[in-house]
Amino acid sequence: MFNLMDFNVVPGIAPVDTAATAISSQFVDCKTAQNIEFLVSFGTVTVTSADQPITITVNAATVQAGTSAVAIPFQYRRSGAAAANSWGAETAATSAGYAPVGATITGKMVWIEVDPSVVAEEGADYRWVNITVTPDAGATACTVAAIPMINPRYKQLDMVSTT
20 in a domain, yes or no?
Answer: no
* The pLDDT value given to residue 82: 75
pLDDT digits (tens, 9 = 90+) for 32-54: 888 899 999 999 999 998 889 99
12 in a domain, yes or no?
Answer: no
15 in a domain, yes or no?
Answer: no
158 in a domain, yes or no?
Answer: no
* The pLDDT value given to residue 1: 44
Q: What is the pTM of this model?
A: 0.89
Residue range(s) defining the domain that contains residue 143: 26-152
pLDDT digits (tens, 9 = 90+) for 74-133: 999 999 987 778 899 999 999 999 999 988 999 999 999 999 889 999 988 999 999 999
157 in a domain, yes or no?
Answer: no
> How many independent structural domains does the chain possess?
1
14 in a domain, yes or no?
Answer: no
Cα-trace Rg, the chain: 15
CA distance 156 to 127: 21
144 in a domain, yes or no?
Answer: yes
Average pLDDT over residues 18-24: 95
